[in-house]
Copies of this chain bind each other. A is one copy, B any other.
Amino acid sequence: MAEIKEKEPVLEQKSQFAVPYYAISYDKFFQFGLSVDCVVFGYHEKRLKVLLIKRGAEPYLGSWALPGDLVYPNENIEVAAKRILKDLTGISELFMEQTKVYGKVDRHPAGRVITTAYYSLIDIAKHDPHASAWAEGVYWVDLEEVPGLAFDHDEILEDALQTLRQRVRHQPVGFELLPQKFALADLQALYEALLNEVYDKANFRKRILAMNLLINLKESQKDVPHRPARLYSFDKKRYDELIAKGFSFEL
Contacts and interface: CB of A to CB of B under 8 A. Distances in A.
A101 B116 contact: yes
Nearest to A110: B21
Interface in A81-131: 83-84, 86-88, 98, 100-101, 103-105, 108, 110-112, 114-116
Interface string A165-200: 000000000000000000000000000000000000
Contacts of A66: 1-2
A1 B37 CA distance: 7
A7 interface: yes
Interface residues of A, number: 74
Contact of A1 (B22, B31, B35, B87): B35
Given A5-B136, A33-B32, A17 B57 contact: yes
A18 interface: yes
A79 B5 CA distance: 16
B33 A29 contact: yes
Contacts of A11: 72-75
A224 interface: no
Contacts of A69: 1-2, 4, 15-16
Given A5-B136, A21-B58, A75-B10, A32 B34 contact: yes
Contacts of A104: 76
A19 B57 contact: yes
B34 A70 contact: no
Which 9 A-B residue pairings sit nearest by Cβ, starting from the closest?
Answer: A17-B57, A1-B68, A32-B32, A77-B103, A3-B56, A2-B67, A101-B101, A5-B135, A16-B70
Interface of A: 1-7, 9-11, 13, 15-22, 26, 28-35, 37, 53, 55-59, 65-77, 79-80, 83-84, 86-88, 98, 100-101, 103-105, 108, 110-112, 114-116, 135-137, 150-151, 153
28 contacts: A1-B35, A1-B67, A1-B108, A2-B65, A2-B68, A4-B69, A4-B88, A4-B135, A5-B135, A6-B87, A9-B79, A9-B80, A10-B72, A15-B69, A15-B70, A20-B57, A20-B58, A22-B110, A31-B31, A31-B73, A32-B32, A32-B71, A34-B103, A34-B114, A73-B112, A74-B105, A101-B101, A114-B114
